[in-house]
Structure 1
């Protein structure tokens, strides 16, 4: 068995995640990118094309992290990898603060300066980005992305595949549906339905 981690992705998000894994003391063996990816990603060799996932698995690599910013693509590639027998790893900055009572899924990224408070639940493949705060009893759905400097008050629920842009604020008890989008700087003071796009202060729906 090879002990290095395979990272799927070779863009900006992958750069951050590679360095998170290294800060955890892990060795990153390869990045797997698209045909137009660079040859190296922060010093890690990049193999071009998803077919390399299967070949790496066959030679003994078993641990993998999907470092793709797109929520839907991250979810799809993770399903492909787990079907091939890979174990999804977490990439968690040692400079994040995570409550011992928080529950974390697999394949998640938690960046530097992020705070996850008591009994929050972070589902598989979610991203809690740089400086974001997730307060007590929040529930973050599968493959959702909480962007840098976003703040969620207590008891907020974020549906699967939703995206909250940079600097959003969400008041306590709000429910945001699946595949919803909150524009950068939005202040959410009422519930948001599945698939909606909201922007502004307070946030208002611009696309249903």
Structure 2
């Protein structure tokens, strides 16, 4: 049987490096990576043990915790749901330097990276990322699979839909709503509502249809 804090991670790229170090800081022991990279190759000392097709076998062998370290929102969410269906526990990883309100509600498989701040009564869906130094103010709702990039800021009562990418340094005014799968570009300022499946850039951010 695996140890209580052993963890398999899906991915072996740049985001996986971040998650390996986050997991260690949060008290977990990454013992294997699931990725198409050659078996036996390593990332920060963690070996690739096969691609994600080996997940059912690993679960049968007693490895019960996994985390998806993929930057693409839809893929991270889809693989996370599949692993949870197999039976894996999908822990939420919170860096010790992050601040998370005790009244916030966090789902499964979420990454909360260094110096992130999550304030009162926030709700964050499964497999989201709250990246380095991002700020989520009171009563915000972040949908499943969404990604708040480094140093992005959401004012109070902002809603991010499922699988939204909220870019580096982006800002949302209080009460703003950003629809599912929309991309807000780096430094964009959201004022009001942005529909789903858009790309929004600029100050204020102007939406246009995704190509």
Q: TM-score range by the shorter chain?
A: over 0.9
Deviation at 1:137, TM superposition (A): 0.3
Residues 16, 37 of structure 1: alpha-carbon distance in 2 compared, 3 angstrom cutoff: farther
Rounded Cα–Cα distance in structure 2 between residues aligned with 1:143 and 1:26: 22
Where 2:82 maps in the other structure, the secondary structure is helix
Calculate the TM-score normalised by the size of structure 1: 0.96
Rounded Cα–Cα distance in structure 2 between residues aligned with 1:172 and 1:37: 47
Deviation at 1:188, TM superposition (A): 0.6
Deviation at 1:38, TM superposition (A): 8.2
Where 1:46 maps in the other structure, the secondary structure is strand
Rounded Cα–Cα distance in structure 1 between residues aligned with 2:162 and 2:192: 18
Task: Provide, for residues 44-99 of structure 1, a one-character-per-residue CA deviation record: whole Å limited to 9, x for no partner.
Answer: 11123222212211211001111111100001111221121111111110010111
Deviation at 1:179, TM superposition (A): 0.8
Rounded Cα–Cα distance in structure 2 between residues aligned with 1:93 and 1:66: 16
> Does residue 81 of the first structure (1) align with residue 70 of the second (2)?
no
Where 1:206 maps in the other structure, the secondary structure is strand
Partner of 1:138: 140
Rounded Cα–Cα distance in structure 2 between residues aligned with 1:25 and 1:86: 18
Q: 1:153 aligns with which of 148, 152, 155?
A: 155
CA contact (8 A) 2:37 2:48 kept: no
Rounded Cα–Cα distance in structure 2 between residues aligned with 1:174 and 1:37: 45
CA contact (8 A) 1:10 1:38 kept: no
Partner of 1:2: 2
Residues 10, 171 of structure 1: alpha-carbon distance in 2 compared, 3 angstrom cutoff: same
Deviation at 1:25, TM superposition (A): 1.6
Deviation at 1:21, TM superposition (A): 1.0
Q: Where does the alignment leave 5 or more consecutive residues of structure 1 unmatched? A: none
Partner of 2:117: 115
What pairs with 1:56-205 in structure 2 (closer than 5 Å)?
Answer: 56-205=58-207
Q: Where does the alignment leave 5 or more consecutive residues of structure 2 unmatched? A: none
Rounded Cα–Cα distance in structure 1 between residues aligned with 2:147 and 2:84: 21
CA contact (8 A) 2:39 2:47 kept: no
Residues 72, 36 of structure 1: alpha-carbon distance in 2 compared, 3 angstrom cutoff: farther
Figure out how many residues of one structure are paired with residues of the other and give that number: 208
Calculate the TM-score normalised by the size of structure 2: 0.95
Rounded Cα–Cα distance in structure 2 between residues aligned with 1:141 and 1:55: 31
Where 1:198 maps in the other structure, the secondary structure is strand
RMSD, aligned CA? 1.4
